Structure 1
Amino acid sequence: MNSPRQRLPAAERRASILAAAVEVFGARGYTAATTDAIAQIAGISQAYVIRTFGSKEALFIATAERVVDQVAEVFRGVLAESGDVAQDRIEPRLGDAYVRLAEDRGALVTLLHLFTLGQDPVIGPVAREGFLRIYTILRDEAGLSAARATAFLANGMLVSTILGLRLPSRSDDPMVAELLSATFRENTGLVTDLFGDGQLSSDSSAPR
């Protein structure tokens, strides 16, 4: 007699949906992503996704907030570990930690999609709050000046843009290789390994 399949707690199911949503939103953007594709990756029914979050819009907002939480957690972790390290040494550590978020495939590009939806009446306020939350951590907790914090954010958006453009798949182009090296420095190999195939998600070939 087969034992009944163990049901995951609701919190674990929700976390698995958000993890799948990061992949799909990162690969396809908000408009092209589907709750069906997210459900397939999460290994659950589309109906369960909708029942849990209510709509694709609400799921995208929850996913984006999850990524902003990741950025905040990673930055605060770096600051806690750095202690009294000089500020000029903290900044590169923050940058390295941000780039390594690329290991959660789709996370940094999901941020990019979030910030391009600033005009949306529902998603826009979430995007602005998330962006300012990250800026506030850089200013108030990391102690960066306004000039250095804005430069840091600009470079962070460059990182997300490069991934969104899937430029690592063209690393054999000398100009692209130069751009990747200047942007990612010691993490260039990590980025090309993760995204050198031109895909941001294993779901990119799934039907829409």
Structure 2
Amino acid sequence: MTGKNAVEPPVRRRTRLAPAERRASILAAATEVFGRVGYQKAKMSDVAAAVGVTEPVVFQNFGTKSALYVAVIEQVGEHAREAFARRTWHGTGVRGALEEILSPGHIEAMHTGAGHGVLFADAMSLIADPEIGAAARQAVGVLADALAEMVSEGRRAGEFRADLDPDAASWSILSLMASYYFRVAVMPDRADLQEGISDLLLRSLTD
């Protein structure tokens, strides 16, 4: 139909996000992109496409690719810290929470897709970069502090040895999780041995 009686199609308007929501959407997309292909292969255009914005919008919000990556690592570190803390609320005690954290299934999940372990492993490969290296160390330090507090809580509750050093225990746990790709590459019968290694570490906290 044409002329003055024609019905005009409705104009589709793009929803304009608030600045904080826009940054959050970019961070979420960047986390998926960096987790999937790594920092070196990731492109800002990939992140923009995943969000549904133009590439300049991503640059306007974060300035550089490395700054965006640093923001992702910082956020992932905080999310991991929160995830560790939530596991103490399930009524299983700290030892039960650590059993869950160190279970082969959980460690596998952390190193799959855009899991925390994937992103941290990628960041550690870039540790020589001053900006990324500082962010990676800070994020891992946040995790170490959260785990040390869990161990301290377990010690106060009588679940762990009274002479246990929370910081040493925390870094032992992180070292076990961080060596996942080494075990994937060389360890035979990895599923069975992983469970045994996790159990050995947990028993060292109590025996």
**What is the match of residue 82 of structure 2?**
73
Which structure 1 segments of 5+ residues have no match? 168-174, 186-208
Kindly report the root-mean-square deviation, in angstroms, between the aligned alpha carbons of the 2 structures.
3.0
Note if contact 2:26-2:48 (Cα within 8 Å) is conserved in structure 1: yes
Superposed displacement of residue 9, structure 1: 2.5
Judging changes above 3 Å, is the alpha-carbon distance between structure 1 residues 35 and 141 closer, same or farther for their aligned structure 2 residues?
same
2:89, 2:113 → 1: CA distance? Answer: 22
Q: Which amino acid aligns with 1:13?
A: R
Matches within 5 A, 1:79-158: 79-82=88-91, 85=93, 87-96=94-103, 100-101=109-110, 105-143=114-152, 145-158=166-179
Which string of whole-angstrom CA distances, capped at 9 and with x for unpartnered residues, describes residues 55-88 of structure 1? 00100000111110110110111123347x2x43
Judging changes above 3 Å, is the alpha-carbon distance between structure 1 residues 180 and 45 closer, same or farther for their aligned structure 2 residues?
farther
Which structure 2 segments of 5+ residues have no match? 1-9, 155-165, 197-207
Judging changes above 3 Å, is the alpha-carbon distance between structure 1 residues 45 and 183 closer, same or farther for their aligned structure 2 residues?
farther
Note if contact 2:144-2:167 (Cα within 8 Å) is conserved in structure 1: no
TM-score (norm 2): 0.70
Judging changes above 3 Å, is the alpha-carbon distance between structure 1 residues 106 and 37 closer, same or farther for their aligned structure 2 residues?
farther
Report the count of equivalent residues.
173
Structure 1 outlier segments of 4+, above 6 Å: none
Structure 2 counterpart SS, 1:68: helix
Q: Which amino acid aligns with 1:52?
A: N
TM-score (norm 1): 0.69
